[in-house]
Structure 1
Amino acid sequence: MSGIMNTNPLPLPDYRFAVFISIFYVIPLVTDFRFQSVGPLSVSRSVSWADGQPKVSAESGKTITLKRGLTSVLDGNCSALSALNLLQLGFWKTRKLRFDMLVMSIDQHDIPKAAWKVNNAILSEIKWGELSADGGKYLIEEMTFSYDDMVPFVL
């Protein structure tokens, strides 16, 4: 019986994760799961008091940012997400694509241990960093999405 329950579980590392993105609720973008960072992973609400009773309201302005090294579209390794983002830029003021995301923390055996489901994410900002002659660094593509809802769960 002692082998079933671990009384001293270890915290999950923050550097082992995967992000799965789908469009139109069912079509996964299988080439887009490696990112340098993703966050914030949080949910919040406002609590106010009136006549001794709490009133709860959902947060607004929820965003999640994905970061990764920028690759060239012309090198033949363009990811589906990069291609869709470039397409969106042509229609930035008039069209929007909705994505669903599944962010997973994984263990050393690549088994998911915790996950966050992000619903109805819409690209709201994209940054490509700065060019600098003295840095020797890589360009980082930073995509910020506004979303409707985030549901955390433990696997």
Structure 2
Amino acid sequence: MDSSSIALRAPLKLEPSSKWIRPNTTYEDFSAKAYDAESIQRRRIESIISTITLQDNKELQIEHLFKLKYPLIQKRNKIIKNPIKLIFSKSKLKDIDAELDKIELEIYRLQSQDTKNNMDIDNLLLHMEKKLSRRNQIFSESSSKA
């Protein structure tokens, strides 16, 4: 028998439906390079999804805070418009003002998160550029001495 005429085949397998079939003989590439590329791509997708989710959550939180803010403003305006209520409800007005301040601070914190993060990234990039220029300067000095 000539070895070129022999073809290797996958063994037959009995399925629950009582049919003999050959399992899929194509195998996925699990080499280190393919696995790394696949895991990097998966991480990128996961980070994009989490960023979108965080952004949506942040927008929902801001929207929720605004919904909490407007009834408090209306209560405050009712108290201020009625001078008789103002005399008796100074502590209530103070509590409403404190609650409004908390909401405003939380809204400001949520809205400024992105700019703070971008500023941190900008500072990091500036720091890395300075490091790189120092290294280039050291290498140019050492190469000129040699």
- Larger helix proportion, structure 1 or 2? 2
If the length of structure 1 is used for normalisation, what is the TM-score? 0.21
- Larger strand proportion, structure 1 or 2? 1
If the length of structure 2 is used for normalisation, what is the TM-score? 0.22
Q: Higher relative contact order at CA 8 Å, sep ≥6: structure 1 or structure 2?
A: 1
Query: Radius of gyration: which is bigger?
Result: 2
